[in-house]
Structure 1
Amino acid sequence: MTLTLPPAEAARELVEPVLREAVGHLDPRIARVARYHFGWTDGDGRPRAAGGKALRPTLAVLSARAAGADLDRCLPAAAAVELVHAFSLLHDDVMDDDPVRRHHPAAWTVFGRAQAILCGNALFALALELLLEQGTPGYAAAARALNRATLSLIAGQTLDLEFQDRDDVTREECLLMSRHKTASLLACACSIGVTAAEGPAALAEALDAFGTEAGLAFQLTDDLLGIWGRPEVTGKPVLADLRTRKKSLPVVAALTSRTGAGRRLAEVLAMPGELTEADLRDAAHLVEQAGGRAWAELEARRRLDAAARCLDAADMPADVRAEFRNIARFITSRDH
């Protein structure tokens, strides 16, 4: 099969039918929540244009192409990674009380917290079912890899929740949390196509390493957007992460900077009650003044360079390597 569309659009067109068929096997009440969460329907079940960047399915499809595999053979793997990603977002929104997802009310605000949690659980189980029913050694290995990535993701979310109640979080701990919560699943997406197709282990390892570094760069960029991003880009209110006093990477870098600005930032974030718009603007300025923004931007570039070196070391077609590079640049150059 030859891709003629831009990679993300092509992956969405290839993988979405597999996702829709899989979701169709769920209990109808859970499937209704899943279809809404994927952006296929509104709260009343009416069709709507799907959202999302299809980043992980795109990476999984590219992974299969890197191994020279038939793309039809890799689609269940690409769909399974997206199912796990959807599961994680459903649970994240509940745990973080985030009311908006992709410019629409989050699923828990429409169907309730319990239904959103149950839907997330179902999507995770569905992902493993989709892999295991393929019945090949490659897909059994892919199921194990996805399960390991999910356990890592959950460990990262546990750390993220723990950080909310601590005032001594270090940059190293925050990077470790991001490696677990974000980079582990992205790394799995980058290598799962090779694994499912029973391609070279060295290629899977190189792409996993690429995904880890690119995933950290992605999280750093996302954290920058969480403070300085425009709502039309992020789908969330301006200064959203400061509003919730999230221990994001730029914030932690500022808090641990041992600067006057860092100490004043800690005082602002420790203020009781809801922060005012003036407080939020002041906090954003203090993060920047304490060097948190500059450090996050530099670290994102450093991780992107490391990801590129992983690609250089991998044996794959030149056009696939170029597409991996383009995606890495895209996810770290969104407007902030």
Structure 2
Amino acid sequence: MPKLIVLRLLRLATLLAGVSALAFTLVRNSPIDPIQAYVGADVGLTDEQYAGLREHWGLDRPPVEQYLAWAGSILQGDLGVSTLYKVPVADVIATRFGASLALMGAAWLLSGLLGYALGVLAATHCGRLVDRAVSWYSYTLSSTPTFWLGIVFLVVFSVWLGWFPVGLAGPYGVPAQEVTFAERVHHFVLPALTLSAVGVANIAMHTREKMTDVLNSDYVAFARARGESPGQILRHHGFRNSAAPAVTLQFAYFSELFGGSVLAETVFSYPGLGSTLTEAALGGDVPLLLGIVLISAVFVFAGNMIADIVNAALDPRVRRRT
């Protein structure tokens, strides 16, 4: 296990180096002008002022030198200053990451539990109406874009029924420190349901297939011949052999979870890291954009690493291979 962790950390270092270089190259060659984004589109600059700002920010230096200077600042813990918020990028990420973590955590937990329960239910009623309903739900949600589902939820539950607010993390115009816990939960429900509804499908179908294979296996047929009840078979054989793959898949779901949160937060104007990424991209905030890209790479890598560690802890065959 320590060897597995060390290898993954080395891979993380190489991943961040590659992601940072690629992201820097793409941003530098994009049509975004960081100087114009900083001063505002309606502000005219003279050639001397523009050249002075380029020299002050180091944009007149060669690309490799710019990248090395930026990477060196990151290694020292300095992600730069956000041009949109006029505060350090690390402070913006620290403020917004908590809201996104709560949203993604609730969606991750709900999708895992509900997806596994639906998968087991479908496998134990294979070929029946329940199985067809779960399969239809899973296939439909797997092909449904997160932003479209969020818009549907807004129209149905916010506009037509009026059960939930249209967006934001609290009532409009109320300072954040005055928003109650109940009001935060009220604004939190729809984004969390949108993000978790799509994640349920993959876990449900994977669990259904694995549980069906287990229930049709020879050792389960032998268990039935010995007189074990369906409940005993599920406890002794079904859950034990289907839970580990589901847990591994759930941790590997981190990448899709973060991508879905960007869309869900944008639709619901939820003040998390995903909506901040969209604001940074549209507003030309290069330091904030690059900082969020690096944090998202660490987040996704952490999910995959945890999936590998959990899989190795549950399956001795994986430990022997590593």
Q: TM-score, normalised by structure 2?
A: 0.28
Structure with more relative contact order (C-alpha pairs < 8 Å, separation 6 or more): 2
Higher helix share: 2
Q: TM-score, normalised by structure 1?
A: 0.27
